[in-house]
Amino acid sequence: MDLLMKQGAQLAPKNTGEATAIFRAQVIGPLLTRVFVSHGDLASAIRGLTRVHHRPPGSSTSRTYSEATIERWYYRFKKRGLAGITPRRRSDTGHARELTDAQRELLIAIRREHPTTSAALILRTLELDGRLAKNAVSLSTLRRLYGAHGLDRITLRVAGGGRVRLRWEADRVDALWHSDVCHGPAMKIAGRSVPLRIHALLDDHSRYILAIVATTTEREVEMLSLLVKAMRSTGRRPEALYLDNGATYTGDVLATLCGRLSIGLLHATPYDPQARGKMERFWRTLREGCLDHLGTPGSLHDVQVRLLAFLAKHYHVAPHASLMGKSPSEVYESAPRYDESVDDAALGAALTVRGRRRVRRDGTLEIGGVTFETRTGFLAGRVVVVGRSLLDPTSDPWIEHEHERYLVGRVDAQENARRKKHGPFANRPAHGLDVPFDPTGALLDALVGRGGRDEGGAR
């Protein structure tokens, strides 16, 4: 007896499946002790069991079971015994059977971008937006997918230790634009290695790339050109710019332009690249989809056309996880605009720079390392205010003096050689007769023996 008691104490289900089957047998136990004359009697007995609470193995709460579930267990047990109600492990456990590869990738990306959002909300949003057909994917399938990739909310909550960084986003398009520079693969031009720098502007709310350009440098002038290009193409200006602390984004000209156009200028905290995560995420996408496949570019033009093709055919039209599956083009182009448009006149006024220069005696002056000249003689020797518009770097500057504007042009030495000289007496009115005076001509006449001139100047 003691031996049997010891053996009995060690008797237990061999695994979780058998333990579940024994529990189910206990649930349907009252049905197994009766003989039912009609199906109606069985249905009535099953209906009574649906009101009984049971606590499943490993659960801390009790629950009830539906008529269909109890009836299914009853018939399976009658046919095959305990094996009939033992749960069978699915061959694809942990895998979402109903999802395509594209849907699976999108759902995983959305969860990583929105770790606190419930699976039900993600599924409902994608169905309402038409990204998934209604009831095409079950909630349990989505939860299994997240569990298999360690993206269930419990796992994410445990793994979220350390510094908490809250996700933020502008509430509308054109409220905030980001700008940054990416270093691309070196180019080979005329046998010489040349650096590649990619400048881009991104709208915070839609992740839409407003302008992108391939250059070889990262100066303030590239940033100004990019910003003007974006405002010209969209006809809009941002409420604020969000930039890093590099020299490209901290110059006086950029600050002046933003001030004149009422654009806020924000700089990220130094040594905190995560604060500019949206641009960093775009650069990663650009590298994986474009820059890593360039090889060794031979020209900026080749790089530029590839960048534009990548945006138009992939990035702008692809579902974006941060946008709950919408594309950047959909969000940016369909959003209402709250700001007034910006035209070239406003841009030109905002990009006008001025400085003081002294006009030399010969009417020339230096502007930006280039020699210009004015044909307004009375300005020679004066200190004047010189203005020029950065909207069109090829346009000539001008002189502003006593509320008047005088154009200046680049010095053309060959044209000046053909042009009549202008000296300090060039505009002085003549007094008396115009008397010829030619000393070398008189010497020449004396040399050849032709005599002098008469009083009228004729030989």
Q: What is the pLDDT of residues 408-419, one digit of tens each?
A: 888 876 666 666
Q: For residues 332 and 352, give the distance between their C-alpha atoms in angstroms, rounded to a whole number.
A: 30
Per-residue pLDDT band at 425 (split at 50, 70, 90): very low
- Give the 3-state secondary structure of residue 62: coil
What values do phi and psi take at 389, rounded to 5?
A: -100, 125
* pLDDT above 80 (res 9): no
Q: Tell me what pLDDT residue 351 has.
A: 83
Q: Tell me what pLDDT residue 457 has.
A: 44
Q: For residues 50 and 231, give the distance between their C-alpha atoms in angstroms, rounded to a whole number.
A: 67
Per-residue pLDDT band at 119 (split at 50, 70, 90): confident
3-state SS string for 196-224: EEEEEEEECCCCCEEEEEEECCCCHHHHH
Per-residue pLDDT band at 434 (split at 50, 70, 90): very low
Quote the tokens at residue 418: 């053909």
Q: Tell me what pLDDT residue 414 has.
A: 62
Q: For residues 87 and 19, give the distance between their C-alpha atoms in angstroms, rounded to a whole number.
A: 10
Q: Tell me what pLDDT residue 163 has.
A: 46
pLDDT, the chain, mean: 79
Mean pLDDT of 262-286: 80
Quote the tokens at residue 288: 């994986």
Per-residue pLDDT band at 316 (split at 50, 70, 90): very high
Per-residue pLDDT band at 92 (split at 50, 70, 90): very low
Nearest to 139 by CA among 158, 125, 150: 125
Q: Please give the biggest Cα pair distance in the chain.
A: 163
Q: For residues 214 and 216, give the distance between their C-alpha atoms in angstroms, rounded to a whole number.
A: 7
Cα–Cα distance list, 345 to 24, 229, 261, 310, 351 (Å): 80, 14, 12, 32, 10
Mean pLDDT of 431-441: 51
Could you write out the DSSP letters of every residue in 95-109? S-TT--HHHHHHHHH
Mean pLDDT of 30-41: 83
Q: Determine if the pTM surpasses 0.95.
A: no
Per-residue pLDDT band at 145 (split at 50, 70, 90): confident
What values do phi and psi take at 64, rounded to 5?
A: -110, 170
Is 445 or 78 the better-scoring residue by pLDDT?
A: 78
Q: Tell me what pLDDT residue 346 has.
A: 85
Non-local (6+) Cβ contacts of 240 within 8 A are: 175, 176, 177, 263, 264, 265, 266
Is 183 or 166 the better-scoring residue by pLDDT?
A: 183
- Give the 3-state secondary structure of residue 385: strand
Cα–Cα distance list, 179 to 167, 238, 239 (Å): 19, 12, 14
Q: For residues 144 and 94, give the distance between their C-alpha atoms in angstroms, rounded to a whole number.
A: 6
> Given phi > 0 = left and psi -120 to 50 = alpha, else beta, which region is 241?
beta
